[in-house]
């Protein structure tokens, strides 16, 4: 879950302020892939490809 600090408290939001093209669903997908994989390099390649496709 992505949270944003507003009015003195953290509230859930769907997108990161720092990385507006990264939704909570996308972040969750890569976190799960990293958790389930023994190959960190493959996860990083997958993330890098996704980022390049967003440009």
Q: At what angle do helices 24-36 and 40-54 cross, to 10 degrees?
A: 160
Residue 7's domain spans which residues?
2-54
Asked if 4 and 10 count as a contact pair (C-beta separation under 8 A), the reply is yes
User: Would you list the DSSP string of 11-49?
Assistant: EEESB-SSSTT-BHHHHHHHHHHHHH-S-HHHHHHHHHH
Place of tokens 């669903």: 25
Q: In the chain, how many domains are there?
A: 1
Query: Model's pTM, two decimal places?
Result: 0.67
Instruction: Using only the alpha carbons of the chain, give its radius of gyration.
Output: 13
Over residues 4-55, the pLDDT tens digits come to 999 999 999 999 888 888 888 998 998 899 999 999 999 899 989 998 998 7
């Amino acid at each position: 879950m992505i949270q944003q600090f507003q009015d003195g408290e953290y509230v859930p939001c769907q997108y990161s302020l720092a990385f507006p093209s990264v939704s909570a669903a996308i972040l969750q997908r890569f976190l799960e892939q990293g958790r389930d994989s023994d190959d960190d390099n493959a996860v990083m390649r997958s993330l890098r490809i996704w980022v390049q496709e967003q440009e």
